[in-house]
């Protein structure tokens, strides 16, 4: 990014370089929190000292970018997002490498996906560079919160919500983009041990023409009922099938799905119903770098179950920012439950996990320039 983050004594932060510097006001907390030890971190339970915020008003555009102490919102009960879920978000991670430097993993890709999600919900475009600056500014201010233990990271949650108090169904005239940060350990209670997933033809996550390829709050709200039912049956997550024929694999909801049948790595294509995962893209790239056949093709649950029955389903795993690369040890569909690779992490899954994690922690070369080192934080003394 080539930007320097500069904090003046008056509490303003600028990015030098291209694009034109943006002034971001910083109000530091007077009550820093006690940080959780790296080996106690779970997913999404603790938050850093500060948050970034910028507001949108019709006619003024996005204005007043600022970093403030982490705090709640004071919303009118009629606020649009509370009624019609005009809300989008994304999720990315900052890692502390073995050299001590902090790196963001594919931040531009996440910023661009957030803008695409906004468009799907008629939320006015945010400038990708402003989103990137928010990542660097907040991580810069809260850099002591980036954990150092392998397997941990600072998870960033950029979010946009409709803030107009109005009960009619139309796009809001005001919005808030906010960014919060949470030091995290592994997403699943299983850690990096295999999870159990249940394919469902009873519930539907997305259909073509809907919002399945956007990261909207509503997609997740609609997934909770099926997820709770699956949990009661002993599964970790739901594997969603397509919304029309209820046959083709879509995604798991918190991660994209991949599997290996014989020597072919397969993942569903992106027909508009599946989130275009950043980790999905990274893992496909690694597979192709290694000369593996990695196909993005429609695949039915019947083909997967049949391959499992006759021993051709070698491995299955999920990919996601929160989940990283998560092995699947058991797959259920209707009355059948199959164990994959003896319920253990497969060799390819492990190799993919090791490879992506090594890039994230700067333990290995980064040939595709996926990581961006945090813009250096400087204090400029003013009179």
Q: Which residue minimizes CB distance to ligand COI? A: 91
CB of 93 to ligand COI, least distance (A): 8
Interface stretch with ligand COI, choices 130-138, 204-212, 238-246, 320-328 (CB under 6 A) = 320-328
Interface stretch with ligand COI, choices 21-29, 55-63, 200-208, 317-325 (CB under 6 A) = 317-325
Of the residues 254, 319, 326, 345, which one makes contact with ligand COI according to CB under 6 A = 254
Size of the site for ligand COI (CB under 6 A): 5
CB of 233 to ligand COI, least distance (A): 21
| 200 or 254: CB nearest ligand COI | 254
| 320 or 327: CB nearest ligand COI | 320
Q: Are strands 377-380 and 371-373 parallel, antiparallel or unpaired?
A: unpaired
Q: Is 183 a residue that touches ligand COI (CB under 6 A)? A: no
Peptide bond into 2 cis (omega under 30): no
CB of 279 to ligand COI, least distance (A): 8
Chain residues 84-123 in contact with ligand COI, contact rule CB under 6 A: 91
Q: Is 212 a residue that touches ligand COI (CB under 6 A)? A: no
| 56 or 155: CB nearest ligand COI | 155
**144-148-152 Cα angle (round to 5):** 110
Q: Is 349 a residue that touches ligand COI (CB under 6 A)? A: no
Interface stretch with ligand COI, choices 19-27, 230-238, 318-326, 355-363 (CB under 6 A) = 318-326
Q: Is 267 a residue that touches ligand COI (CB under 6 A)? A: no
Q: Is 321 a residue that touches ligand COI (CB under 6 A)? A: yes
| 254 or 341: CB nearest ligand COI | 254
Which residues make Cβ contacts (< 8 Å) with residue 64, sequence separation at least 6? 25, 53, 54, 55
Chain residues 322-341 in contact with ligand COI, contact rule CB under 6 A: 322
Dist. CA 362–CA 367, nearest whole Å = 11
CB of 122 to ligand COI, least distance (A): 21
Dist. CA 205–CA 111, nearest whole Å = 24
- HSE-CB for 320 with a 13 A CA cutoff: 23
| 117 or 133: CB nearest ligand COI | 117
Q: Is 320 a residue that touches ligand COI (CB under 6 A)? A: yes
CB of 376 to ligand COI, least distance (A): 27
The gap from C-alpha 172 to its chain's centroid, in whole angstroms, comes to 25
Where along the sequence are the contacts to ligand COI (CB under 6 A)?
91, 254, 320-322
């Amino acid at each position: 990014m080539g930007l320097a983050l500069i904090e003046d004594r008056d509490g303003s932060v600028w990015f030098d370089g291209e694009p034109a510097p943006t002034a971001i006001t910083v109000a530091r907390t007077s009550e820093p929190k006690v940080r959780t030890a790296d080996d106690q971190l779970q997913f999404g339970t603790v938050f850093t000292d500060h948050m970034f915020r910028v507001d949108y008003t019709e006619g003024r555009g996005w204005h007043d970018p600022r970093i403030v102490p982490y705090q709640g919102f004071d919303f009118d009960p009629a606020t649009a997002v509370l009624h019609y879920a005009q809300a989008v978000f994304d999720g990315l991670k900052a890692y502390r490498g073995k050299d001590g430097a902090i790196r963001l993993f594919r931040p531009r890709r996440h910023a661009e996906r957030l803008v695409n999600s906004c468009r799907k919900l008629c939320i006015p475009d945010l400038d990708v560079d402003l989103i990137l600056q928010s990542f660097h500014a907040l991580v810069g201010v809260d850099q002591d919160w980036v954990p150092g233990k392998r397997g941990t990271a600072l998870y960033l949650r950029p979010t946009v919500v409709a803030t107009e108090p109005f009960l009619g169904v139309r796009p809001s005239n005001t919005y808030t983009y906010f960014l919060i940060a949470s030091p995290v350990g592994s997403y699943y209670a299983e850690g990096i041990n295999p999870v159990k997933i249940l394919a469902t033809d009873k519930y539907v996550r997305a259909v073509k023409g809907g919002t399945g390829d956007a990261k909207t709050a509503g997609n997740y709200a609609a997934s909770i009922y099926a997820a709770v039912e699956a949990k009661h049956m002993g599964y970790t997550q739901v594997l969603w099938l397509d919304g029309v024929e209820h046959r083709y694999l879509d995604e798991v909801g918190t991660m994209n799905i991949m599997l290996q049948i014989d020597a072919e790595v397969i993942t569903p294509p992106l027909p508009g119903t599946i989130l275009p995962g950043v980790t999905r893209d990274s893992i496909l790239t690694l597979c192709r770098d290694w000369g593996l056949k990695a196909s993005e093709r429609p695949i039915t649950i019947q083909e997967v179950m049949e391959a499992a029955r006759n021993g051709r389903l070698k491995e299955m795993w999920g990919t996601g920012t929160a989940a990283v690369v998560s092995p699947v040890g058991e797959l259920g569909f209707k009355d059948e439950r199959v164990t994959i690779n003896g319920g253990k992490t497969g060799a390819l899954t492990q190799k993919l996990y090791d490879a992506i994690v090594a890039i994230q922690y700067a333990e290995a070369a980064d040939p595709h320039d996926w990581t961006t080192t945090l813009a250096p934080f400087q204090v400029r003394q003013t009179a």
